């Protein structure tokens, strides 16, 4: 009896609280659009985290009537920063004892034990791998390179090359594009000029992340609320965080303050798109994040946001870019990082063969 084809590539997307498992076939199509969710259990230590990843992989295989004999390689998306490849640096969302953890070696050993043979393992930043997932969808059969910007609590950024793989850099800090400064003199919205917003990274130069994501919304409110003295939020005693989180919903109903803030976010992100296009010259820009989420925003709002990004970018692009650069919404949602991790395993295993 011949052994079965090894045609399954697994992908694990490990968040601080929840891990998701997905997989692709050798042609890159997803095994399933249903992710397997499991608890990351980081509070129980690294062994519990590894056990959770393996359990997720085994559960995913079982859910899809597959066995380890079909698995060719695996990918793991884990938020950095990294000390070096496969080794974690001190991270804001994980216990301090995880600094210096060689998660690649530990997970590879656990996979080998589960499968009864070594499984090639490829690890990387979750944002980068999410970009790989989105890029595979938008580029289709072309070799177009893809820039992903996904504003959520922070600004996820990735650049995917013609081989479908992310730019990770020599210090694994490539495309940390959320912490580049924004040209403040080009922002403002009826205001003289916006101040340099504080950013979680500590850089005082006005990181784009603070002007385009949830993290900077309280500072936007501080700057813009005085121009709307009669606004409900001006009298509200709610926490700054709650006020900030109410803005997306308010914008869907046409609230002028909320729209002013998100218009400025779109403008900041558009200028950042142009900035990155000077360095990377991508064929396609994919915009992800909560403001283009069809479950939480109206089609009109999403169009206004994407148009705002394009309009802000255009004056700074070269004519060929202005004519042909595509700016499109992300489509994979929460699938992107697990599918992306599986695709990285596929592309990397193919390149190594
Ligand atoms: Zn920053």
**Ramachandran assignment for 86, one of left (phi > 0), alpha (psi -120 to 50 degrees), beta (any other):** left
- Do 51 and 25 share a domain, yes or no? yes
Positions of the chain with pLDDT under 50? none
152 CA from centroid of ligand 1 (Å): 14
Residue 78, classified by CB atoms within 10 Å of its CB into exposed (0-12), middle (13-18) or buried (19+), is buried
- Do 110 and 230 share a domain, yes or no? no
Any idea what the CATH number is for the domain that residue 317 is in? Answer: 3.30.420.40
- Do 159 and 296 share a domain, yes or no? yes
- Indicate whether 276 belongs to any domain: yes
Domain range for 45: 8-124
156 CA from centroid of ligand 1 (Å): 12
- Do 224 and 101 share a domain, yes or no? no
- Do 164 and 294 share a domain, yes or no? yes
- Do 38 and 152 share a domain, yes or no? no
102 CA from centroid of ligand 1 (Å): 26
91 CA from centroid of ligand 1 (Å): 15
- Indicate whether 100 belongs to any domain: yes
- Indicate whether 194 belongs to any domain: yes
- Do 98 and 168 share a domain, yes or no? no
Domain end position, chosen among 69, 92, 124: 124
124 CA from centroid of ligand 1 (Å): 21
- Do 118 and 151 share a domain, yes or no? no
204 CA from centroid of ligand 1 (Å): 8
Q: Give the per-residue pLDDT at 351.
A: 87
88 CA from centroid of ligand 1 (Å): 20
Q: Give the per-residue pLDDT at 294.
A: 92
- Do 92 and 144 share a domain, yes or no? no
d(CA 196, CA 182): 9
- Do 174 and 119 share a domain, yes or no? no
Domain end position, chosen among 67, 100, 124: 124
Q: Give the per-residue pLDDT at 81.
A: 85
**Token pair of 266 as six digits:** 């779109």
199 CA from centroid of ligand 1 (Å): 5
- Indicate whether 133 belongs to any domain: no
- Indicate whether 129 belongs to any domain: no
pLDDT in tens, 286-304: 999 999 999 999 999 999 9
- Indicate whether 92 belongs to any domain: yes
- Indicate whether 15 belongs to any domain: yes
- Do 206 and 313 share a domain, yes or no? yes
254 CA from centroid of ligand 1 (Å): 30
pLDDT in tens, 25-38: 999 999 999 888 98
Q: Give the per-residue pLDDT at 190.
A: 63
Residue-wise burial string across 84-103, b where 16 or more C-beta atoms lie within 10 A, e elsewhere: eebbbeebeebbeebeebbb
What is the number of structural domains in the chain? Answer: 2
Q: How far is CA 127 from CA 133, 175, 204, in A?
A: 10, 9, 23
41 CA from centroid of ligand 1 (Å): 28
20 CA from centroid of ligand 1 (Å): 27
Going through the chain in order, the beta strands assigned E by DSSP cover 8-14, 18-25, 36-39, 71-77, 82-84, 87-88, 121-124, 146-151, 155-160, 284-287, 326-329
Whole-structure pTM value: 0.91
Q: How far is CA 330 from CA 96, 216, 251, 302, 318, in A?
A: 33, 22, 20, 12, 24
- Do 182 and 232 share a domain, yes or no? yes
- Indicate whether 352 belongs to any domain: no
């Amino acid at each position: 009896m011949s052994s079965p084809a090894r045609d399954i590539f697994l992908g694990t997307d490990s968040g601080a609280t929840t891990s998701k498992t997905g997989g692709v076939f050798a042609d890159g199509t997803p095994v399933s659009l249903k992710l397997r969710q499991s608890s990351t259990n980081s509070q129980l230590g690294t062994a519990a985290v590894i056990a959770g990843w393996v359990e997720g992989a085994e559960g995913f295989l079982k859910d899809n009537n597959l066995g380890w004999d079909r698995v060719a390689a695996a990918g793991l998306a884990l938020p950095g920063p990294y000390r070096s490849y496969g080794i974690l640096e001190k991270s804001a969302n994980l216990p301090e004892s995880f600094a210096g953890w060689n998660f690649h070696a530990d997970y590879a050993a656990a996979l080998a034990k589960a499968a009864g043979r070594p499984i090639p393992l490829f690890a990387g930043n979750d944002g980068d791998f999410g970009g790989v997932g989105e890029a595979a969808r938008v580029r289709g059969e072309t070799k177009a390179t893809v820039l992903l910007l996904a504003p959520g609590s922070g600004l996820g950024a990735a650049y995917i090359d013609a081989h479908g793989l992310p730019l990770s850099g020599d210090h694994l800090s490539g495309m940390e594009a959320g912490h580049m400064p924004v040209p403040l003199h080009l922002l403002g919205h009826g205001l003289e000029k916006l101040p340099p917003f504080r950013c979680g990274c500590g850089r005082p130069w006005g990181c784009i992340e603070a002007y385009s994501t949830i993290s900077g919304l309280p500072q936007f409110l501080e700057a813009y609320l005085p121009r709307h003295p009669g606004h409900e939020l001006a009298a509200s005693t709610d926490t700054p965080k709650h006020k900030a989180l109410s803005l997306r919903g308010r914008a869907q109903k046409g609230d002028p303050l909320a729209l002013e803030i998100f218009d400025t976010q779109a403008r900041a992100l558009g200028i950042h798109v142009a900035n990155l296009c000077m360095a990377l010259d991508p064929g396609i820009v994919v915009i992800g994040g909560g403001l283009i989420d069809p479950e939480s925003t109206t089609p009109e709002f999403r169009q206004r946001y994407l148009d705002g990004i394009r309009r802000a970018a255009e004056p700074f692009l070269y004519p060929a870019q202005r004519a042909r650069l595509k700016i499109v919404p992300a489509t994979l949602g929460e699938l992107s990082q697990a599918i992306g991790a599986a695709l990285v395993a596929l592309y990397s295993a193919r390149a190594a063969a």
